[in-house]
Amino acid sequence: MVKAQQGTFLFNTRQTMHQENADIRKYRQLMQSDEDIVRLRESVSKASAVQLQNGVISANDYLLDVNAAAQARQDRVVHEMQLLLTQYNYKTTGGN
């Protein structure tokens, strides 16, 4: 009975670690995408600032672009936190 429980525990642990490893890869890819998105959103907000100075767009349009850049940065931080949490869970599950 103990052998069966040990086998089940080890199987479940391997499955959990496999899933956490997949999640780590997913969050790393998301963070790479987030970097690109942040860079593009900041570029748009800089262009919007110039357009606002030249009277091409309204202050509201400018604020929408600035807020979109801020949201992209926040999304990047959330994904970074999720990656760290998943890495710690992976280590904990593995006994490290």
Q: How many angstroms separate the CA atoms of 23 and 87, rounded?
A: 9
Cβ contact 64:26 at 8 Å:
no
* Burial grade of 68 (CB within 10 A; 0-12, 13-18, 19 or more): middle
Q: How many angstroms separate the CA atoms of 2 and 8, rounded?
A: 10
Give pLDDT tens digits for 24-73. Answer: 999 999 999 999 999 999 999 999 999 999 999 999 999 999 999 999 99
Q: What confidence category does residue 87 fall into, taking pLDDT thresholds of 50, 70 and 90?
A: very high
Task: Tell me the CB-side half-sphere exposure of residue 59, using CA atoms within 13 A.
Answer: 0
The CB density around residue 59, as the number of other CB atoms within 10 Å, is 8
Q: Where are the domains of the chain?
A: 26-31+41-96
* pTM exceeding 0.75: yes
